[in-house]
Structure 1
Amino acid sequence: MDYYLISGPGGILVEEFVLQDDHTATGIDSAVWSPEHGRWSAAPELSRALRSDAGLRALVSPVDRRSAAEAYARLGGGELPGEERLRGLFRERQPLPAAAPLDLGSSPDARRYRILFAGDLDADGLAGARAALRLEPADDPRVAGRASGEGITWELRRIGAGIAWCVDVTVRLGSDPAGVLGALLDHHRQAVREQGLIPVTVERFA
C-alpha cells in the first residue's frame, strides 16, 4: 500500500494499485481520512486529481506506513487500521485506461514495461532515485541512468520538462525466475515514489 500525508488541513490518503497477472495496472483503490470529518471515505477523485494537478501534488507527501501511523495518531485518529481493514474501506475504484500493449519497437524476444510518474525531481531527488535504482550513467541524454541484472534492464527517463518521469524495464522472455519481475517493478515504483513523485500507472509494451 502507498501512504500520503496531506498538508494544510491535514489528512492521510491510502492507495493500492490493482495489478493484472502480467503486472500492468488496471486501477487504483483508495481511501482518505481527515481530522475535520474524523472518518474514512472513498477517494477516486482525489487520486485522479493528484496525478493531474501540480498544485495538489505540492500539498501531498509520500510516506511509509510508520510515518502515516504517527501522523494519524497525532491528528487524533488513534491507531491506524491494519492493511486488511484499510482494503475494506476501498469502496470506489479509480479505473486506469485499458488498452492493448503499446508497440514502441520492443525486441520480439523481450517484454518492456513502463512505470509512469507525475511530477518532477529536484537534484536531491534525482540523486536519490539513481542510488535506489543502482543506475549507471547512460550515453543517451534523455536517460538519467541505466542498470541491469538477471536478464532484466531498466532506465530512468524524464518525459517533458517538469511534467513526468518514467522507469522503463525490459525483461528477456523466459528470464523471470520465481516472479522476480513483479517484485522488481514494485521496488522501482516505491523507490521513485519515495523521492516525491506520484506513480500514475504501469504499462506494458508489445
Structure 2
Amino acid sequence: MTKTFVARQAADSSPALHYYVVHDGAGGPEGLLVEEFLLAADYSSAGLVSGGWSREEGQWRDASSTSRRLRVDAALRARVTPVGRAAAAAFYWDLCGADLPDEPELRACFGGLPAQAPCALRLSGPEARSGFRETRVYRILFADELTQDALAALSEAWQMPVTGDLADPEVRVLGAVRRQVAGDAFRWDLRRVAAGAAWGLDVTCDLVGEHDEAVGVLLRGLTTQMRQQGLIPVTVDRFR
C-alpha cells in the first residue's frame, strides 16, 4: 500500500463504515454487512473491504464475496437495508444481546487491503476552469432503483429543482446542484447511467487553494445521503 494511500485513510476522521441489515428470503433478520471504501489521495475509490455477521454462524468474518454480489444481484439487494451505526447496533443487540464491536474491531475482520492505490483514469487534460487552481470531475456510481420518494427527499435535502421525469427512461439528468465553499465551487448532477441499470452523481470540483479536504467531505456526504435513500454505492471514479 502506498504512503499516500495510508495517509489518506489515517487523516480522514469522518465516519467511513457503511452498515447494512440483511434479511433472509422470508423477511426475517439474518445478519449485518459492514463495508468500507478505501480511498486514494484524491478521494477516488481504491478498493472495497467488508465484514459480515450472521445469526447462523454467530461470528464476524470477511464478506468481500457478499459485497461483490450485492452490486450485481438484485435479489440480494432486496434483502439488504442501508442503516446508520446506531440502527445497526440496535439490530445486533436484538439478535445476540451484545454490543456492536467498535470500528477498529470490525476492520480487523475485513479482507486484505489492495497492494497499492490504482492509477487514476483521466478522460481529459489537467487544465483548470478559469479562475481556479484545479478542476476535478468525479462520478459516484450507485446500484438499485431510485424511487419517487427518494428523489423528493434528495431534492429537498439539496434544494435541487427536479428537471426531469423519473418515470421517463429517456430522461438522463434529473437535477443539478451548485455550491460555493470558501472560494471553491462544486456542482453535482443526478443522472441515470448504464441504460438505466444504475444511478450516478457527476461531481465537478473547482478548487482555489492547495487544500482539498472539502472534496472528501462532499463526496462522503453525498454517498451517505444516497445510501439513506436505499441506493448501494459501487465506486467513486475520477475522470479529470
Q: What's the TM-score once normalised by structure 2's chain length?
A: 0.78
Unpaired runs of 5+ residues, structure 2, are 1-16, 130-134, 166-170
Indicate the residue corresponding to 1:101 in structure 2: 121
Deviation sequence 1:131-182 (CA, Å, 0-9, x none): 2333234489421111111211111111145511011110114257561111
Indicate the residue corresponding to 1:116 in structure 2: 141
Deviation sequence 1:84-125 (CA, Å, 0-9, x none): 211122133589x94532316896432101100011111111
Identity of counterpart residues, as a percentage?
A: 42
- Equivalent of 1:90 in 91, 106, 110: 110
Unpaired runs of 5+ residues, structure 1, are none
| Cα root mean square deviation, aligned | 2.6
Structure 1 distance, partners of 2:124, 2:72, is 24
Structure 2 distance, partners of 1:175, 1:121, is 36
Structure 2 distance, partners of 1:163, 1:139, is 17
Indicate the residue corresponding to 1:74 in structure 2: 94
Indicate the residue corresponding to 2:221 in structure 1: 187
Q: Where do 1:40-189 residues align within 5 Å?
A: 40-93=60-113, 98-103=118-123, 108-109=128-129, 110-138=135-163, 141-150=171-180, 151-160=185-194, 162-174=196-208, 179-189=213-223
Moved more, 178-187 or 129-138: 129-138
TM-fit CA distance, 1:60: 0.5
Change (3 A) 1:131 1:117: same
Structure 1 distance, partners of 2:126, 2:191, is 17
Structure 1 distance, partners of 2:54, 2:97, is 9
TM-fit CA distance, 1:44: 0.6
Indicate the residue corresponding to 2:8 in structure 1: none
